[in-house]
Structure 1
């Protein structure tokens, strides 16, 4: 007999999958047209990154991103009484910005794989990947600049401000790698800038396309930011304990890179014996052995980092729900946003 919880999770999973499929159907043609407008190598690099073709330009059926951020734009538009098909340019712009940051992040982090394939910089080179990312950013702004919807101009400002915040978050994240005294509040602020900002922009832009007031748009920005923090907390847990067969990245990928992820910073600041052991392992200047990586993961858990991250994720979700209720008083209107929030915070990769 199936439990009520499993039945609910199954239903919510199907609902979210339907939302994402509808988003892809609306947004992908706009994305492809935008990328097709790029010259030569930038077009090839971008299409490879999106999984549309192989490095030589032949068609591919490679795994693509989930399209959570553009889905948030369309769901927010609908929640505020607008028509999702009128917000497709904004949704595509958000997805382009997201992928521009992924291209750059892969270069900065020297990541070898993304979505079970070699990263674009590994295939085409660092310069080509960076320039393709820059071009995607410009495409995003052009889509909004050419959009005749009344909300487009306000969305350009929001998205531009968001990119500055994203860059600040990335810069701070890189600076943390050179510091031994990173505090949890600092780490949370960095995560909000690096991950929460774009989800907040997606939701607030969608709200504007739905005709929302500035107050409602700000509340949905807060909703997206809190969801983004919950997302980052789960992502950091996956970065340590995720299954490589699911994530497409090596086991303990964040530990290999000695990332100051949220569970790690919580463990390092715990004042426990296990926290000190983790600090000792992180201070080793050579690559860690598989045994040492396992010790790192065990130390993070024993020092409370794993439990803290799981609890903090739940708290952020609760705060997000309060922000959503302030922007969308009618619960039924927010069903799709809720389904996407559930998808984000119950993810495994």
Structure 2
């Protein structure tokens, strides 16, 4: 097996982010399903529904995610491992572990945010109940750690989980605060989103045989990419097309989320930012007209342009860390393709 093709499996094809994601999904999903099959039937049923493998009645379907995090694990492993023919064998358990943690976080996040939809269909908690969804999330987290029990990456994962949960806690606390600073919001996003993407890349590099210092460079690549990812996600949460994102128009504004563009506007010192604060902190629910005005005020305060600029700056910082890690050329291109896709997506 060679590192030249996309994830070591697509010889002779033109590289693209979609091919990288497809190759990762084909490599990781069988092991992901096998891990979930270890669970009791009731828990397995909800986990598989959330993963998009079947509907609420257990009929097969394909409504899963993009497999971005498993792709980052595998590409980082190949980028660090060079010609080692056992790279896939060593990195697939780490890729499954990261995807299980991602599923755990989404199950709990949907409950905390009250989101009724996930991937264009009802969120698991709205179908099976809050208690069951919380329990399934807990089980998936335990299963993830079990997969890494003998891995040098276990400590990387536990540290990332602490940062992820700290970021989620801050995000929840921000909803009732009126004094959130932009630096606090950036730190929250680095934890909530950057921690797991950084973990994916660092775990992959360790599985590929990198030493801890080199693996940390891959982790820094992932954390900067995670912040760029969150900035892009926050922009979509205000201006994304509901037909594409699967979320209602202005959904983050309706939930009064202290997203990065919103906090940038609120702390901008502009007249538009002051008007946004007056609107955002009203006691009553915002109607459609209020939401459209809030979106206009965020843009008028310069925050939409700021978020685009910061996403680009963090993409550049991520690619700088990747170069420092001296990756193998082919997999490095796969990582670059994934990075550009993440910051230019529409959902």
Aligned to 2:94: 90
Contact 2:96–2:144 (Cα < 8 Å) also in 1? yes
Aligned to 1:36: 37
- CA distance in 1 between counterparts of 2:35 and 2:327 reads 36
* 2:209 aligned residue (200, 208, 211): 211
> Secondary structure of 1:344's partner?
helix
Pair 1:134-2:138 in alignment: yes
> Secondary structure of 2:141's partner?
helix
Pair 1:343-2:344 in alignment: no
Contact 2:90–2:208 (Cα < 8 Å) also in 1? no
- Alignment length (residue pairs): 331
Query: After superposition, where does 1:1-349 map in structure 2 within 5 Å?
Result: 15-61=16-62, 63-80=63-80, 81=82, 82=84, 83-145=87-149, 153-328=151-326, 331-349=329-347
Q: Please give the per-residue CA displacement for 1:90-149, whole angstroms capped at 9, x wherever unaligned.
A: 00100000110000000000001010001000001100000000011111112222xxxx
Contact 2:75–2:331 (Cα < 8 Å) also in 1? no
Q: Please give the per-residue CA displacement for 1:28-53, whole angstroms capped at 9, x wherever unaligned.
A: 11111111111132111111101111
Contact 1:35–1:47 (Cα < 8 Å) also in 2? yes
Aligned to 1:8: none
TM-score normalised to the size of structure 1? Answer: 0.92
TM-score normalised to the size of structure 2? Answer: 0.93
The unaligned stretches of length 5 or more in structure 1 are 1-11, 146-151
- CA distance in 1 between counterparts of 2:247 and 2:42 reads 26
The unaligned stretches of length 5 or more in structure 2 are 1-12
**Per-residue deviation at 1:58?**
1.9
**Per-residue deviation at 1:333?**
4.6
Structure 1 segments of 4 or more deviating over 4 A? 329-333
- CA distance in 1 between counterparts of 2:14 and 2:299 reads 29
- CA distance in 2 between counterparts of 1:279 and 1:212 reads 48
- CA distance in 1 between counterparts of 2:162 and 2:138 reads 13
Contact 1:41–1:128 (Cα < 8 Å) also in 2? no
- CA distance in 2 between counterparts of 1:60 and 1:322 reads 40
